[in-house]
Amino acid sequence: RDVCSSSRRRRWLAGSLLAVLLLAGPVAAEDPRPIAFDVTVVHVSSGEGGVQPSARARRVDRIIGPQIKYDSLRVLDFKRRKVPMNQIGTVKLPNQKRFRFRPMDLSDEGVLVAVDVERSAQGDFRIPRRKPFVFGGQRYQDGQLVILLEPDF
């Protein structure tokens, strides 16, 4: 009698588990492909020097020139980071702080990214593909640091 009752209990549990799995529907799998981000760190100031003579510096100047007032622009660092969804990408800044970013959602409108400069500003922003997000204001030397975060997915 115990064998029969134990067998029925196992079948009932197995049937119940199957029903729960079927009712729950498919589980949305997180996209395993990492998202590529270009991170450009520049120094702008009111000092002399103009725009650094490089293609990257000229491109940054075209992007941030209408938004930020400066007389001098130098590219200090460029990194390409491939970051999986809900993982953190990090770039160490020249002022010893860390710029961190975490892609959270990918849609046709762009990638939702949490950004954070250590002990400073933070926020969540949806960034369209190949459209740089400009994050500035960190004091550095005689001017400020400006960070461009550009997703490529």
Residue 140 forms beta bridges with which residues? 143
How far is Cα 105 from Cα 107, in angstroms, rounded to an integer? 7
**Exposure of 131 in the CB half-sphere (CA atoms within 13 A):** 9
Q: For 44-90, what is each residue's pLDDT tens digit?
A: 999 999 999 999 999 999 999 999 999 999 999 999 999 999 999 99
Whether residue 153 is predicted with pLDDT greater than 60 in this model: the reply is: yes
Q: For 33-46, what is each residue's pLDDT tens digit?
A: 899 999 999 999 99
pTM (2 d.p.): 0.77
Burial of 68 (0-12, 13-18, 19+ CB in 10 A): middle
Long-range contacts of 9-12 (CB under 8 A, 24+ apart): none
- Pairing mode, strands 89-92 and 122-127: unpaired
- Pairing mode, strands 72-83 and 50-51: parallel
